[in-house]
Amino acid sequence: MKIILLITSIGITSSVFANDSTGYVGTGGIEYLKNKNIAMQSEDLFISKKKIKVDYQFKNLSQHDITETVLFPLPKVQNYIETDYADASGLVESFKVTVNGKVLKPKIHVRAFLPSNEHQYVQDEDFQGDVTTALLGCGLTEQELMSPWKKEDTDHEIKVVQKIAACSDPKVQKLLKIQDDDYIRWQSQVIYSWQQTFKANAITQVSHQYQPLVGGSVSLYPDEYNQQFCMDKNFKQGLKRAQSEHAPFSALSYILKTGANWAKPIQNFKLTIEREPNELVSFCWNGEVKKISATQFQMVEKNFIPKQDLDVIFVYLHDK
């Protein structure tokens, strides 16, 4: 039995903008750990600020059933960040998966991490010190380890941090010495899992949806984000016409490159991005982009091998 990953936490980048901003963390689609008998025949991806929904069709190319453990690991979320963070609880509470039209209830696993060196701590990077077992052994519950996702009251968070500080496990105490005593930083990761059987020489339909982690800032300075969001001349002219060169904006990230891990290229790929009526949207795409409605843009590819991830910016237009 092997493992499928629905979104990978490896290499995910957390982006935090200037003052009065919120961070966003990339989520993504299915990553498969190299099974030559499973191909992704189609992927229909819908992205908006309110919802990410992905419909897949997988083909078992073999003459026998294949049973796998499917994982959906969410990104690591930190208990402390210098700015208000995106709606992490909304992502957890909205996650839903269906297989062949039937809703599944996946298991939930929680992992806890401390920075394993000073650089991770200072730079707020991906913490690598897995202390889940140690903290559970010290009496913390999985619900307490989920607190960075739940964003509960300050008193609750303080109590959790105090429990971590009081944990006598040698590994925990060693990693805590890396940090400043004033405030302990740690990260929590939520992982969903379920068992999935792919019938021999048959199609399996898998869908999942969730509320993305959306960040942004109160003021856009286009020159700072040209490369990340491919804000072209037409986009900037639209900002100017609406007198919105320094308007508030939102942004999200989606990890596309995991789609390159399957047995074959994605036979049929469709991506739809939706903006609000009072917004402009910009993103990088190496191919044709069609405007299919007043608020939706669509990209269709055959035998698609994604080679880059997707960052999308939504800019609010001022009323004239």
- Mean pLDDT, residues 131-139: 96
Query: pLDDT at residue 24 above 70?
Result: no
pLDDT recorded at residue 23: 41
Q: Residue 56 is encoded by which pair of tokens?
A: 């897949």
pLDDT recorded at residue 261: 58
Task: Tell me the pLDDT of the chain averaged across its residues.
Answer: 81
**In this predicted model, what pLDDT tens digit does every residue of 272-317 receive, in sequence order?**
999 999 898 999 999 999 999 999 999 999 999 888 888 899 988 8
Residue 119's Cβ-count burial label (10 Å; 0-12, 13-18, 19+) is: exposed
Q: Residue 282 is encoded by which pair of tokens?
A: 């910009």
CATH number of 171's domain: 2.60.40.3680
How far is 189 from 95, CA to CA, in rounded Å? Answer: 14
pLDDT recorded at residue 295: 96
Which string of DSSP letters, residue by residue, matches 205-236? Answer: EEEEEE----EEES---GGGSHHHHT--HHHH
Q: Comparing 112 with 36, which gets the higher pLDDT?
A: 112
Considering 3-17, 40-54, 58-72, the range whose residues carry the highest mean pLDDT is: 40-54
pLDDT recorded at residue 259: 60
What is the domain extent for residue 250?
A: 3-316
| Contact predicate 105/74, CB 8 Å | no
pLDDT recorded at residue 222: 64
**In this predicted model, what pLDDT tens digit does every residue of 206-238 receive, in sequence order?**
998 988 888 877 777 766 666 788 888 888 888
How many structural domains comprise the chain? 1
Phi then psi dihedrals of residue 71, to 5 deg: -120, 140
Tally Cβ neighbours within 10 Å of residue 49: 19
The C-alpha angle 68, 69, 75, rounded to 5 degrees, equals 135
Work out the percent of the chain whose per-residue pLDDT is above 70.
81
Tell me which of 125-139, 160-174, 241-255 is least confident. Answer: 241-255
Q: Comparing 88 with 59, which gets the higher pLDDT?
A: 59
- Mean pLDDT, residues 17-26: 39
Q: Comparing 74 with 6, which gets the higher pLDDT?
A: 74
pLDDT recorded at residue 165: 94
**In this predicted model, what pLDDT tens digit does every residue of 63-99 receive, in sequence order?**
999 988 777 777 788 887 544 455 677 778 888 999 9
| pLDDT band of 136, cuts 50, 70, 90 | very high
pTM, entire model: 0.77
| pLDDT band of 119, cuts 50, 70, 90 | very high
pLDDT recorded at residue 87: 67
Query: pLDDT at residue 31 above 60?
Result: no
